[in-house]
Amino acid sequence: MRIERDGRIPADNPFVGKSNARPEIWSYGHRNVQGAAIHPQTGELWTDEHGPMGGDELNVDRAGRNYGWPVITYGREYSGAKITDLTSKPGMEQPVHYWVPSIATSGLLFYTGNLFPEWRGNAFVGGMKTGTIARLELDGEKVVKEERVLEGKVDGRVRDLEQGPDGAIYLLVGDGNGRLLRVEPAK
């Protein structure tokens, strides 16, 4: 959904004036969006979402596009049964990246700081299931490398992550007693 801060619906939303859809809809076919961030160079909205058992996705959300759920997916039912045989179909968007098995995506950020210069321009996705962060090196809208950062070091589910004004990455870890962790370069 896309609305103005005061609740008005933008006149350029893709379904304004259409009788078969609500005017506030921006894109559809999403399963369970968990993280969202505006790309610092393109200004486009990127989201990550939970698949079922596997099939978590990273998407660039564009106006009026169908992202396929539940017609296409890389995941399965929690029982292990197939949801569909399709992972693609004309008229439905493919994810920029997907995870099988699932990492249980959470927060999303694009790193722009100076504390980790080698990570500038990378996307970071929290993993609730894995207690880690997926660092994604990008070439435009293509993931060229994935690294799991802090694997085995975070005790709990990474619920959200943000870049601080100091360039550090802050993690919100939940399960029982929530914690805020600061990620900085090793000394």
Query: pTM of the prediction?
Result: 0.94
Which residues touch 72 (CB under 8 Å, ≥6 apart)?
84, 86, 87, 88, 89, 92
Q: What is the DSSP letter of 9?
A: P
Closest CA to 102 of 120, 75, 125: 75
Give SS3 for 73. Answer: coil
**Does residue 138 surpass a pLDDT of 80?**
yes
pLDDT at 168: 98
Q: What is the pLDDT of residues 10-52, one digit of tens each?
A: 999 999 999 999 999 999 999 999 999 999 999 999 999 999 9
Phi-psi group of 64: left, alpha or beta (phi > 0 → left; psi -120 to 50 → alpha; rest → beta):
left
Residue carrying the six token digits 């350029």:
12
**Does residue 175 surpass a pLDDT of 80?**
no
pLDDT at 152: 86
Contact 62, 26 (CB under 8 A): no
Say how far apart CA 49 and CA 63 lie, in whole Å.
17
Domains, the chain: 33-183 (2.120.10.30)
Could you give the percent of the chain with pLDDT greater than 70? 100
**Does residue 142 surpass a pLDDT of 80?**
yes
